Structure 1
Amino acid sequence: MTNYTLVEKDSFIVLGFGIELKSDYTDYAGINKEKADFWKAFTEDGRLDALKAKATNDYVFAVNEAVNNKMMHYAGVMTEVSEPAPEEARVIQFPKGEYLIVKGEGNTAEELNNILTGIAFGQVLPEAKDFAYVGGPNAIVEMGQRNGLVFGEIWIPVVRK
């Protein structure tokens, strides 16, 4: 099985701006295109830089969450509760508990996202015997760059079986 760790995390908050994904949940190419188009626009119009100014660290979060039976995707940053959120933003609460962590790197943030999602949801979770993902927000955390590659982790809340 792929290398992964289970880590206990305190609850944390991500301030995110997002879109509803319209592609069917099995249409990976469609979902990936929607996400890529969103990130391109969000980065080019300066909203990502403005969001980073509200962050408590240098990480950029790509959050996936089901909200009212809709697949949502957010660009976000970790922030403090006391910070007032802009009207169009969503405050995403990640629960205290155990998280599946898979580390990786890619040539781009989009490639990192695809690699980590594939490993976590395509390999680790289907093979897991002691824990399971039962929903809630999950995130690809872009942590920086080294040797010309983007590196980061996927954080998925899990429960013991």
Structure 2
Amino acid sequence: MADYTLEEKDSFTVVGIGTELTDYAGMDKKKADFWQAISRNGTLDTLKAIATNDYIFAVNEAVNNKMMHYAGVMTDASVSAPEEARIIQFPKGKYLVVKGEEKTVSELNSKLEGIAFGQVLPEAKNFAYVGGPNAMVEMGQRDGFIFGEMWVPVVKK
């Protein structure tokens, strides 16, 4: 089984700007295009300006029967978010945490999602993902690689 940890996390808030994911076949390209667009048009910089730390969140969440993907930052509840932003609440509790590093954010996101949802969760005997937002957290760079973690809320089976 892949290397992972289970960690207790306090509840936290992410403010994100999103895009709907409509087909799984083109999902990686749609995510990459979305991130490129918000980096170019200044939206990501606007989000970074209200962040409480340097982490960048790539959040996946089902909202009103739509699969949504958000670029977001951790904030405190009192911050004034951009009008088109969504306030995403992550619950207090246990999280599956998968760590990794890759040359690009897109590769890191794909790798960590693949490990969490393709390896760890299907093989887990003591815990399960029951829905809710999950996130790939870009935490920084070192030696030419981007490092981060996948955070998936889980419950005991």
Question: Same-fold call, TM > 0.5?
Answer: yes
Q: Which runs of no fewer than 5 residues in structure 1 stay unpaired?
A: none
2:109 to 93, 102, 113: 113
In structure 2, the residue matched to 1:136 is 132
| Amino acid in the other structure paired with 1:6 | L
Structure 2 CA distance for aligned equivalents of residues 39 and 56 of structure 1: 20
Distance in 1 between the 2:11 and 2:22 partners?
Answer: 29
After TM superposition, where is structure 1 displaced by more than 3 Å over at least 4 residues in a row? none
Q: Deviations over 1:128-148 (max 9, x none)?
A: 000000000000000000010
Q: Which residue of 2 aligns with 1:64?
A: 60
What is the TM-score of this pair, normalised by structure 2? 0.98
Q: Tell me which amino acid in the other structure corresponds to 2:118.
A: G
The total of aligned residue pairs comes to 157
Tell me the residue number matched to 1:13: 13
- Quote the offset at 1:156 in angstroms: 0.2
1:4-83 to 2 correspondences below 5 Å: 4-23=4-23, 27=24, 29-83=25-79
Compute the TM-score of the two structures, normalised by the length of structure 1: 0.96
The CA distance in 1 between the partners of 2:41 and 2:145, in whole Å, is 24
Question: Which of 83, 86, 93 is the equivalent residue of 2:89?
Answer: 93
Describe the superposition over 1:100-119 as per-residue Cα deviations: whole angstroms up to 9, x where unpaired: 00000011000000000000
Tell me which amino acid in the other structure corresponds to 1:73.
H
Rounded to whole Å, the distance in 1 between the matches of 2:140 and 2:57 is 12
- In 1, distance between residues paired with 2:32 and 2:81? 24
Deviations 1:42-71 (A, max 9, x none): 001111111101000000000000000000
Alpha-carbon distance in structure 2 between the residues aligned to 1:154 and 1:20: 20
Equivalent residue of 2:154, what SS?
Answer: strand
Corresponding letter in the other structure for 1:55: A
The equivalent of 2:146 in structure 1 is: 150
How many Å separate the matches in 2 of 1:108 and 1:98?
28
| Structure 1 SS opposite 2:152 | strand
Equivalent-residue separation in structure 2 for 1:7 and 1:19 (angstroms)? 29
Q: CA deviation at 1:87?
A: 1.5
Over aligned residues, Cα RMSD in angstroms?
0.7
Q: Which runs of 5+ in 2 are unaligned?
A: none
